């Protein structure tokens, strides 16, 4: 059984708390939250909330610190957790700077604790199936993919930290990194990356990137520079030699020459909260994997700290290119 302290009682903190409550091999033991919001979490989940990580680690026995804090705090909290001998699950992106990511990886190695970053799209059922189709060669070789992710600017963040480029890295680093990470998961390191973008006053608000991996191509568009009430959308269209696998505003569909299109069924985990059913999507699969791999002392094969660090480095390169082309 892994005893988990969640740091950050906001949007992702609640998602993770809901998942741990459903996992047989994990037990929530406390929260860390600097605002009053911690008390609502303590009441909802029946474990205490503390004002600082130090306090929490002194007051409750734990094995894991799960970091659901604004991105500019990932580095500091990971180092503190590793120093206290705790395994770390940290939300994406790993950090704001590659140097910080490297330091986090080294600190966890030195402390002999595990580190995994929440690149949940690698675990999202539709995307995981797409990776399997590619790896098993069912539709032949993957020739190209479009990956899209957009929506209105997220208004929920504490003190609007998402709107501060110095804390979140803007839409490209906070949101579009999901698709960059998935493109790298499919193809490895790109040979060429070309990016353009537009500024929304909070950094790059919309980014357009084309990556070449040998003769395979990925085109990615992502951003939050859209008006309120624009529904969030994530989509892909993967063109293989013998067919296409796509998800574009509806269920995932696989279309193969001469065969009836197929719509695979997925078992999504849901949770009841405040009268709403909320889909836990890939977050459930991701944290289940993390807990199992830590308890069983097995490597993280799907998402490693190094792959998360490479995704950060790639997105920072995209942002630098997009900015340089704006002037
Ligand atoms: N994987 C995903 O799909 C996904 C989705 C959304 C956000 N995220 C990531 O999750 C992380 C958290 O984002 P969020 O949307 O939950 O933000 P949020 O603003 O909703 O929550 C952050 C919480 O941290 C608390 N906090 C801030 N400073 C603190 C401190 N020093 N000590 C203790 N608590 C502190 C805030 O009060 C707030 O409650 C970010 O890195 C973000 O990029 C990932």
Cis status of the peptide bond prior to 299, with omega within 30 of 0: no
**Which pLDDT does position 271 carry in this prediction?**
66
* Boundaries of domain holding 230: 121-324
Q: What is the pTM of this model?
A: 0.96
Residue 275 pLDDT class (50, 70, 90 cuts): very low
Residues 215, 200 share a domain: yes
> Which is nearest to 32 in space by CA: 1, 76, 2?
76
The angle, 0 to 180 degrees and rounded to 10, between the axes of the packed helices 305-324 and 98-110 is 170
Task: Tell whether the model's pLDDT for residue 90 goes beyond 90.
Answer: yes
Residues 173, 89 share a domain: no
CA dihedral 51, 57, 61, 67 (to 10 degrees): 80
Task: Tell whether the model's pLDDT for residue 95 goes beyond 80.
Answer: yes
**Which pLDDT does position 266 carry in this prediction?**
86
Residues 134, 6 share a domain: no
User: For residue range 154-185, what is the model confidence (pLDDT) as tens digits?
Assistant: 998 999 999 999 999 999 999 999 999 999 99
Residues 91, 35 share a domain: yes
| Dihedral pair phi/psi, residue 253, rounded to 5° | -130, 140
Within 6 Å (CB) of ligand 1, which residues are found? 7-13, 32-35, 37, 68-71, 73, 91-92, 118, 120, 156-158, 161, 174
User: For residue range 117-158, what is the model confidence (pLDDT) as tens digits?
Assistant: 999 999 999 999 999 999 999 999 999 999 999 999 999 899
Q: What is the CATH number of the domain that holds 70?
A: 3.40.50.720
Rounded Cα gap, residues 105 and 114, in angstroms: 9
Q: Separation of 68 CA from ligand 1 center, angstroms? A: 5
Q: Separation of 16 CA from ligand 1 center, angstroms? A: 11
Residue 272 pLDDT class (50, 70, 90 cuts): low
Residues 297, 238 share a domain: yes
* Percent of the chain residues past pLDDT 90, beyond the cut: 93
| Dihedral pair phi/psi, residue 77, rounded to 5° | -70, -35
Q: What is the CATH number of the domain that holds 310?
A: 3.30.360.10
User: For residue range 240-268, what is the model confidence (pLDDT) as tens digits?
Assistant: 999 999 999 899 999 998 899 999 998 77
> How many domains, the chain?
2
């Amino acid at each position: 059984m892994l005893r988990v302290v969640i740091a950050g009682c906001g949007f992702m903190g609640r998602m993770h708390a809901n998942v741990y409550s459903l996992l047989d091999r994990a037990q929530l033991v406390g929260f860390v939250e600097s605002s009053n919001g911690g008390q609502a979490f303590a009441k909802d989940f029946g474990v205490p909330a503390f004002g600082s990580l130090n306090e929490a680690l002194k007051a409750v026995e734990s094995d894991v610190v799960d970091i659901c804090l604004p991105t500019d705090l990932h580095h500091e909290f990971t180092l503190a957790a590793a120093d206290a001998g705790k395994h770390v699950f940290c939300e994406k992106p790993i950090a704001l700077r590659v140097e910080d990511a490297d330091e986090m990886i080294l600190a966890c190695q030195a402390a002999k604790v595990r580190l995994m970053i929440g690149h949940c799209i690698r675990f999202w059922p539709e995307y995981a199936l797409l990776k399997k189709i590619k790896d098993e060669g069912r539709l032949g070789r993957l020739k190209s993919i479009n990956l899209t992710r957009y929506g209105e600017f997220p208004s929920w963040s504490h003190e609007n930290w998402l709107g501060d480029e110095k804390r979140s890295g803007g839409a490209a680093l906070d949101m579009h990194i999901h698709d960059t990470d998935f493109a790298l998961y499919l193809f490895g390191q790109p040979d060429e990356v070309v990016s353009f973008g537009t500024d929304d006053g909070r950094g790059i608000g919309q980014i357009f990137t084309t990556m070449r991996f040998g003769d395979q191509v990925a085109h990615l568009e992502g951003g939050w520079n859209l008006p309120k009430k624009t529904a969030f959308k994530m989509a892909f269209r993967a063109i293989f030699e013998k067919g296409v696998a796509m998800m574009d505003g509806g269920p995932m569909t696989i279309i193969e020459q001469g065969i009836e299109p197929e719509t695979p069924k997925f078992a999504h985990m849901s949770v009841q909260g405040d009268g709403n059913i909320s889909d836990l999507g890939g977050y459930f699969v991701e944290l289940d994997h993390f807990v199992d791999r830590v308890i069983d002392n097995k490597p993280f094969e799907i998402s490693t700290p190094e792959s998360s660090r490479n995704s950060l480095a790639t997105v920072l390169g995209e942002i630098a290119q997009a900015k340089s082309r704006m002037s």
